[in-house]
Amino acid sequence: MPGVEIENYWFRRHEAVYAAVRSRCGGARVLEAGCGEGYGADLLADVATTVLALDYDPLTADHVARRYPRVAVARANLVALPVRARSCDAVVSLQVIEHLWAQERFLRECLRVLRPGGVLLVSTPNRLTFSPGRDTPLNPFHTRELSGAELAGLVHDAGFTDVEVHGLHHGPRLRELDVRHGGSLVDAQVTVALGGGAWPEQLQADVASVVVEDFTLQAAELDASLDLLAVATRPSAP
């Protein structure tokens, strides 16, 4: 959530990917599948011709409609998108696919609604670092997490071409904060959250100081990344 000090790290981590994909949405008809609070859809509306934001939760859809008037909003099941075939230039879905049971069906729906040459932009936590050494996700709200290779294969098998996967990493300042907080800023936050106690003053200040520029997105060291971003194209052929 934006504007919540103790959630600032996670907010900026998500916002960094929105900032990275925004350049792909200039002048485009954008569909965001799973918009959540809506700040990302509004960010994309800075450059897109139109943004249609979809979410399954009715309270979420109502909130987005009230708070972000530049964004068109609808409640929808993401495995049955209420959009005409070949009507979108870009489909954006960030930190959503890991919550879906029918991931392959969702990606085929994304393919259907994109015009030939349209771009798919999908991010998700990296299974190798988010739930290390496990076959089932640590997060009880995740149905299936993916590695970079698994995400690329899933997108390719849905019919997309030119599939690229990039990884989100901590930049230099966040790596310094990792060291300050026992090796992992993320683990330090999770420990406090699960314990239910007061936040240490230094941890709260460091979390509140995080900005988008503290993260880097790159193709190198994919298996060590925090989150994954797949970029793919709908082919011109039927």
Q: Is residue 224 part of a domain?
A: yes
Q: Is residue 200 part of a domain?
A: no
Average pLDDT over residues 121-135: 94
Q: What is the pTM of this model?
A: 0.95
Q: Please give the tally of structural domains in the chain.
A: 1
Structural domain boundaries enclosing 34: 5-170+216-233
Share above pLDDT 90 across residues of the chain, in percent, rounded to a whole number: 93
Q: Is residue 71 part of a domain?
A: yes
Give the Cα separation of 64 and 67 in Å (integer).
Answer: 5
Q: Is residue 197 part of a domain?
A: no
Q: Is residue 115 part of a domain?
A: yes
The string of pLDDT tens digits covering residues 50-98 is 999 999 999 999 999 999 999 999 999 999 999 999 999 999 999 999 9
**HSE-up (13 A, CA, CB side) for residue 21:** 33
The reported pLDDT for the residue numbered 176 is 97
Q: Is residue 47 part of a domain?
A: yes
Q: Residue 163 pLDDT > 90, yes or no? A: yes
Q: Is residue 99 part of a domain?
A: yes
The reported pLDDT for the residue numbered 10 is 96
Of the pLDDT bands very low, low, confident and very high (cuts 50, 70, 90), residue 197 is: confident
Give the Cα separation of 160 and 108 in Å (integer).
Answer: 9
Q: Residue 238 pLDDT > 70, yes or no? A: no
- CB atoms under 10 Å from CB of 201, counted, come to 8
Q: Is residue 211 part of a domain?
A: no
The string of pLDDT tens digits covering residues 86-109 is 999 999 999 999 999 999 999 999
Q: Residue 152 pLDDT > 90, yes or no? A: yes
Residue 146 sits in a domain whose CATH number is 3.40.50.150
CA distances from residue 30 to 5, 87, 109, 178 in whole angstroms, order as listed: 30, 9, 14, 36
Average pLDDT over residues 182-190: 94
